Amino acid sequence: MHPQTLRQYDRMGLVQPSRAPGRARRYSQRDVEKLQEIQNLSHDGVSLEGIKRIMQLENQVEALRARNKELQAELEAVRLRLQENSRIFAAGLSGDVVNLPRGKRPAARTRSQAVVLYRP
């Protein structure tokens, strides 16, 4: 690419290369990939303002994907916490409601403790 083209892209904010002492531009591999993408879009007839908008939208999509991933991880953590802290209730031997830890069953009733409903 022509140096004037690179300066124009820098002024527009399409690529932000780092600077070496003496103000020389240093392009990273990511910058080179962006420049190739800009060149391809330009050859396809997209204006520089259009390219700038496309790149802004691509950055926004990437940020939203990262945020979505964070929220999914947070949701999963909350689900696990709720599952661990959820309480289970059962009827006690005397008919009262008792709280049981997850994975535990109420004590089995013996025949003498069984409640029998009988109507004559």
pLDDT at 118: 43
Question: Mean pLDDT per segment of 10 residues, for the chain of length 120 residues?
Answer: 90 88 87 93 94 95 97 94 73 72 65 47
Contact predicate 89/104, CB 8 Å: no
Q: What is the pTM of this model?
A: 0.60
pLDDT reported for residue 19: 87
8 Å CB contact between 15 and 38? yes
Res 107: pLDDT: 66
Domains, the chain, in order of start with CATH, read 3-84 (1.10.1660.10)
CA distance 35 to 37: 5
**60: amino acid identity, one letter:** Q
